[in-house]
Amino acid sequence: MTQDIALDIQESLDQVKTVLNTQRSEATVLAVSKRQPLERVEALLSLGHRYFAENQVQETAQKWPTLRQQYPDVAVHLVGPLQTNKAKQALTLYDRIHTLDRPSLAEKFASLAEQGHAIPPLLIQVNTGEEPQKAGVLPQEVSDFTTYCQKDLKLPVDGLMVLPPQEDLPTVHFAFLQTLARRVQLPHLSMGMSGDWQQALPFQPSFIRLGTALFGARPG
Ligand SMILES: *Cc1c(COP(=O)(O)O)cnc(C)c1O
């Protein structure tokens, strides 16, 4: 492993942690390791960091089962879209899923739970920008969907996640997500990426999702 990369990653993580402390944030830093060279991921693991996120089931399945043998206390979260036919496999790979974005996926989890599978904590992805091409529950559907998941399907839903529209000020969407979560009494918020995480902090995220800010640019 090149020592320089490990030092860069350590410095980046330290800088993020310093800001979190200064802002009195209790956010968990999820290192988004998608498409990053393994040596960078291993560098962060060897520094003691244990919270990671991926956006693809297949890539996670190739990477993490081996790393978990070496680092059994690692937590890997899913932050990308999940196909219904991969839901069962996802249960074997992830400690939390941030992208519950539709009733059919919730119903799939409920049926897997009935078959005896353990379901990890789930966050509902909200399409706050109401973008037609983007996944997520519409803001006006959050309340009914939360009730459906928690009461009818008995799923462990405990928060909301957002990916703001690129062209908007992210702050508006972070504030909106916080308002929605308070309304439906969900404690956890997943928001803030490399470009906007500092703007998310005033709205008290439980998880910030940092890829390039920690690892550097994704190659290729
Ligand atoms: C890739 C990704 C991130 C991290 O993006 P960076 O800009 O590299 O920090 C965060 N959240 C989701 C949902 C992603 O797909």
Reported residue count of the chain is 220
Span from the CA of 101 to the centroid of ligand 1 (angstroms): 17
- Render the chain in DSSP notation, one character per residue: --HHHHHHHHHHHHHHHHHHHHTT---EEEEE-TT--HHHHHHHHHTT--EEEES-HHHHHHHHHHHHHH-TT-EEEE-S---GGGHHHHHHH-SEEEEE-SHHHHHHHHHHHHTT-----EEEEE-TT--TTS-SB-GGGHHHHHHIIIIIS---EEEEEE---TTS-HHHHHHHHHHHHHHTT--EEE---TTTHHHHGGG--SEEEESHHHH-SPP-
Q: For 92-149, how does the pLDDT look when each residue is reduced to its tens digit (9 = 90+)?
A: 999 999 999 999 999 999 999 999 999 999 999 999 999 999 999 999 999 999 999 9
Q: Residue 5: pLDDT band by 50, 70, 90 thresholds?
A: confident
The residues lining ligand 1, judged by C-beta closer than 6 Å to any ligand atom, are 32, 34, 55, 79-80, 163, 193-195, 209-213
Instruction: Ligand 1 pocket test: pick from 36, 51, 56, 79 the residue with the most ligand atoms within 8 Å of its Cβ.
Output: 79
Q: Is the Cα dihedral 51, 56, 59, 65 positive or negative?
A: positive
Distance of CA 15 to the CA centre of its chain: 21
- The Cα-based distances of 74 to 148, 196, 207, 218 in angstroms read 31, 25, 15, 22
* pLDDT reading at 1 higher than 60: no
Which pLDDT value is given to residue 164? 98
